[in-house]
Chain A
Amino acid sequence: MSLLRVCAFTSKRLNTQLLFVDLSFAGCLRTASGAAKDKEPLRKAKTPQGRFDMDDEKPKDPLQKFPDDVNPATKEQGGPRGPEPTRYGDWERKGRCVDF
């Protein structure tokens, strides 16, 4: 029984070692062909994870960030983006009232 376990253990280690060798070998091939120097990002498969990486459909935020995050009118740094939230008496953001 213990002999089997030892065999299994050793074979697992060999397996992982082989995998490692495999990967580094593939890496060598890529650098050799110059593919790694390519500026293009890797095309990922159309899996859900892959799809989220392509952000070409990101909507433009209607509230633009101030230059250096400083509001030019009030000189506030790190303040809310867009027009003054309290200009109508309540705290407004994107048409929603969040405090009044």
Chain B
Amino acid sequence: MPKNSYLPWYFLPGTTHYYENVLLLNKHSDRQISQYPVVDHHFDAVVVGAGGAGLRAAFGLSEAGFNTACVTKLFPTRSHTVAAQGGINAALGNMEADDWRWHFYDTVKGSDWLGDQDAIHYMTEQAPASVVELENFGMPFSRTEDGKIYQRAFGGQSLKFGKGGQAHRCCCVADRTGHSLLHTLYGRSLRFDTSYFVEYFALDLLMEDGECKGVIAFCMEDGSIHRFRSKNTVIATGGYGRTYFSCTSAHTSTGDGNAMVTRAGLPCQDLEFVQFHPTGIYGAGCLITEGCRGEGGILINSEGERFMERYAPNAKDLASRDVVSRSMTIEIREGRGCGPEKDHVYLQLHHLPPQQLAVRLPGISETAMIFAGVEVTKEPIPVLPTVHYNMGGVPTNYKGQVITHVGGEDKVVPGLYACGEAACASVHGANRLGANSLLDLVVFGRACALTIAETGTPGEKLSPLKPNAGEESVANLDKIRFAEGTIRTSEIRLNMQKTMQNHAAVFRTGDLLKEGCDKMDAIYQSMEDIKTFDRGIVWNTDLVESLELQNLMLNAVQTIHSAEARKESRGAHAREDYQDRMDELDYAKPLAGQEKKSFDQHWRKHTLSTVDIKTGKVTLGYRPVIDRSLDQEECSAIPPAIRSY
């Protein structure tokens, strides 16, 4: 029977067996944990998450001959990668002469010198080969007249290390690049023997002696617990946009991978770097293009005032994104927000001639009607700053292996890998450039597969695992399933989202962040008082949403505490009270004669955050940025400089 058929687990021959564990009694009740049937599976590799990165890793491993399982809580083509409509950057050189080293420079500069240059070197060097590989898989890129892949100018890309003008590097598939990427990868993966475990919610990593030995997951369809034992586990679970009230991500972007790593006692990296966009539609989360303001649209507050004139007298509404986001947030904080809760502002377009709108911005009336329910030629659109991408995540090296920082040195965690938005390699550093994240998915998905193929062999015997491994996860699941507190999951989630939106969004100052930290700690404690309603075990969405809320909460507390601690402005993390970047040398002035600041005194370093699960206390550590490229002769590293465009 082919392993890749969507049969229930009890039909899969040979790889599963029913295993009755004797687990501890759950202290919270007199229910026996042994009531939960646990099934053990043995695989050579397990991939958690089936988005762009997860699928690429899964079939890369299957292609290399590994018996691979892909555990996902969504059907692969429903992952959030499908919503990525932008393009993918690669220095193919089809429109003009191009060099991947120029792409490397642009990415390092875009990351505000917080990106690890070896990982960026790896990504930009592999980019042309990855795009050509995708095209060979059948991804229908748009073409030039000669039949080469058409590339357009996008996302801060330049030629000749910033001195040669705009570069054309962005390849796309009509207007559905992410959708096409996901379907191409999924279709390709069906050629190989990957076992898909769809709608299995991964609860935790099975760690023993600091080594990852697999994943424990919960089948949403029938409520059984599954332990996927493997020597290699790849985390590709995506970002955590849903910690904020307004985000572009799907409801399923809940940072499950980051939370699993945190619960395993490992650190997460750079979680305070969250990318915002100023004009996201209130309630829906879709972003309205800057072109609206470019064509004459204006932002107004509850008094009908064009408030951007006060914040940016010359550029007004055409000021840069971060200035606009901060101005909007200040207006909302000072009580001039619109709507019943005064938590957003309006984007007004009805003063423009409707004909001009229809010609210059076709489709905007449809978008405004569907997502905001407004007639754009008569009413303004409610907007507020919206989360789009998480630069931070599980720290890895350029090969995709998860690392911790022990005794001043990076140490690889055996058996654990991460790729995609969930990982922090770190290629995006403090700010992500447009069209680089799809590239990040395929390059590092492939890197994880290659590293596992290099360091292991298919069919290797697994080391023994304690028979009661994973019981805390099952105990937690049982506790949530029968939770009888007073506050509902949706209320706690809304509290968390509003707090994060008010305190840890674009506008960050010391007092606001400290207040937010205290509020978040209280909300974390309120999770003890959670109330769920559905006591069943089959397709219990109340239970799954509460587990997702636990994951979101871990991401949220780390984000806000890391942001509060970082006393500088770098990339997406901009603070009003510390407006400059604090590097080891002041790069705005001539370097000769300057004394290098010690590691504790400057901020050009990665934040590593860990959480004590019971108390919610966040502990922060730091690790240095990797400033060497993989090969100094092939591509010299870029020394830090002031970032200006």
Contacts and interface: CB of A to CB of B under 8 A. Distances in A.
A74 B366 CA distance: 26
Contact of B144 (A59, A76, A87, A92): A76
Contacts of B143: 76-78
B352 to A, nearest CB: 13
Contacts of A92: 289-291, 361
A91 to B, nearest CB: 4
Identify the interface centre among A62, A92, A95: most chain B CB within 10 Å of its CB: A95
Interface in A43-100: 59, 62-63, 74-100
B234 interface: no
Interface in A5-53: none
Interface of B: 83-87, 140-145, 150, 152-155, 170, 172-175, 277, 279, 286-292, 294, 321, 358, 360-368, 388, 434-435
A88 B295 CA distance: 9
A90 B142 CA distance: 19
Contacts of A59: 366
Interface residue tally on A, bucketed by range:
20 to 34
Nearest to B140: A78
A85 B288 CA distance: 13
Given A95-B361, A99-B435, 20 more contacts: A62-B363, A63-B363, A76-B142, A77-B145, A78-B143, A78-B173, A78-B174, A80-B174, A82-B362, A82-B363, A83-B362, A90-B289, A90-B290, A91-B86, A91-B154, A93-B85, A95-B367, A97-B287, A99-B434, A100-B434
B363 A93 contact: yes
Nearest to A93: B175
A84 B530 CA distance: 49
B287 A88 contact: no
B86 A99 contact: yes
B86 A98 contact: yes
Contact of A96 (B170, B288, B358, B360): B288
Given A98-B85, A99-B434, A88 B140 contact: no
B427 to A, nearest CB: 16
Contacts of B366: 59, 62, 94-95
B52 to A, nearest CB: 14
A97 B288 contact: yes
B157 to A, nearest CB: 11
A80 B175 contact: yes
29 contacts: A63-B362, A75-B144, A76-B150, A77-B143, A78-B140, A78-B143, A80-B174, A81-B175, A82-B362, A82-B363, A86-B153, A86-B154, A88-B289, A88-B294, A90-B290, A90-B291, A91-B87, A94-B364, A95-B289, A95-B292, A95-B366, A95-B367, A97-B279, A97-B288, A97-B290, A99-B84, A99-B87, A99-B434, A100-B321
